């Protein structure tokens, strides 16, 4: 009788232990690295490639979710040379080992081949409200030419990946599957030279989007972001909740959704970053020598005319 009770107890402890292990595992193996707010990390500089031994051996790891890359063996791709960096004018990897996508860092043919066989579907959201409908034609026509041409793109449907795009934008060059990742954001074209304390984050601590002066990696522009459905859902849900909390106390973050997006990405590091090639601004001209190819850019518009709230 005693033996039976002991057995039951043992089974109970084991079951409890298993559940606990799973919980710990689930908590620790989150899909992208979250970093303790107390960690004083050095700011990564987009225009200063890291040289010599890495200063970032903190060993952040996370569950690698990328699909296995298989390409047709007949594809004639250029050989990658370990001792010949493809770009030495810009940073191509973050301190948490996420790639930063620039022209020259990937082979478009290899990327297209690798992703074509995966039969992925990508959803996009584009909102054109009020006077912004005038941007829709150019946006859609340019998307047809340049956006994920190797992959089927669905507007608003069940999909593997989702991209949220601003409508007052135009595709100018390839934006392909090289932009896919679990959580993807693009570096703003106006601030990448700046020290982090001058990024236009929300700086008032009454807002849930508050970022202290000594935090943050890059300033991202909200005109394009995306990733796996689950990850983007978690991001938008959090931002929406924060927007509502702010609203309930009569606060609006300095750059609205963009401020909340930036707050989120300070805490939840993106797994892939798009260089400013992917979110250029036509008003910034074409003379930045690090920008070899403008792919997607904000069109010049008369803000006073199209915006309902100036
Ligand atoms: C502007 C852009 C805004 C916002 C702002 C941040 O160039 O038009 O949408 O991103 O930068 O300072
Ligand atoms: Mn816009």
pLDDT tens digits, one per residue of 217-235: 999 999 999 999 999 999 9
What integer pLDDT is reported at residue 26 of this predicted model?
33
What integer pLDDT is reported at residue 201 of this predicted model?
98
Check whether 156 has a pLDDT greater than 50: yes
Confidence band, pLDDT 50/70/90 cuts, at residue 119: confident
Could you identify the atom of ligand 1 that is nearest to the CA of residue 190?
A: 7
Q: Which of 169, 196, 221 to mutate to test the pocket of ligand 1 (most atoms within 8 A of CB)?
A: 221
Average pLDDT for residues 250-255, to the nearest whole number?
98
Check whether 62 has a pLDDT greater than 80: no
* 60 against 279, higher pLDDT: 279
Could you identify the atom of ligand 1 that is nearest to the CA of residue 222?
A: 10
Q: What is the mean pLDDT of the chain?
A: 85
What integer pLDDT is reported at residue 274 of this predicted model?
98
Which residues are bridge partners to 220 per DSSP?
187
Active site amino acids = 258
Nearest alpha carbon, ligand 1 atom 12: 200
Residues within 5 Å of ion ligand 2, judged at the Cβ atom: 166, 168
Confidence band, pLDDT 50/70/90 cuts, at residue 6: very low
What integer pLDDT is reported at residue 17 of this predicted model?
39
Range in 20-34, 237-251, 258-272 with the lowest mean pLDDT: 20-34
105/51 Cα distance (integer angstroms) = 17
* pTM given for the model: 0.83
Confidence band, pLDDT 50/70/90 cuts, at residue 10: very low
Q: Ligand 1 site: residues with CB under 6 angstroms?
A: 188, 190, 200, 221, 255, 258
In sign, the C-alpha dihedral spanning 121, 186, 297, 91 is: negative
């Amino acid at each position: 009788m005693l033996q039976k009770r002991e057995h039951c107890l043992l089974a109970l402890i084991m079951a409890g232990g298993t559940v606990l292990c799973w919980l710990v595992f689930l908590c620790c193996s989150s899909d992208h690295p979250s970093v303790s707010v107390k960690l004083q990390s050095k700011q990564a500089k987009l225009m200063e490639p890291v040289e010599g031994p890495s200063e970032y051996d903190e060993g952040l790891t996370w569950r690698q979710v990328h699909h296995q890359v298989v390409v047709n063996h007949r594809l004639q791709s250029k050989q990658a040379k370990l001792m010949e960096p493809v770009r030495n004018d810009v940073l191509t990897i973050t301190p948490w080992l996420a790639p930063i996508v620039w022209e020259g860092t990937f082979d478009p043919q290899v990327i297209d081949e690798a992703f074509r066989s995966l039969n992925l579907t990508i959803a996009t959201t584009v909102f054109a409200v009020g006077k912004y409908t005038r941007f829709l034609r150019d946006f859609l026509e340019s998307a047809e030419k340049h956006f994920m041409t190797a992959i089927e793109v669905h507007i608003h449907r069940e999909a593997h990946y989702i991209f949220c795009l601003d409508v007052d934008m135009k595709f100018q060059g390839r934006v392909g599957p090289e932009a896919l990742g679990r959580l993807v954001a693009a570096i703003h074209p106006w601030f990448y030279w700046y020290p982090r304390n001058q990024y236009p984050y929300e700086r008032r601590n009454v807002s849930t989007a508050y970022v202290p002066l000594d935090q943050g990696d890059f300033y991202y522009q909200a005109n394009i972001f995306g990733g796996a459905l689950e990850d983007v859902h978690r991001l938008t849900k959090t931002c929406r909740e924060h927007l509502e909390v702010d609203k309930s106390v009569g606060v609006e973050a300095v750059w609205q959704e963009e401020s909340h997006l930036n707050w989120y990405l300070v805490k939840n590091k993106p797994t892939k970053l798009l260089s400013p090639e992917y979110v250029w601004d036509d008003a910034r001209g074409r003379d930045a020598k690090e920008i070899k190819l403008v792919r997607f850019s904000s069109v010049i518009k008369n803000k006073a005319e199209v915006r309902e709230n100036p």
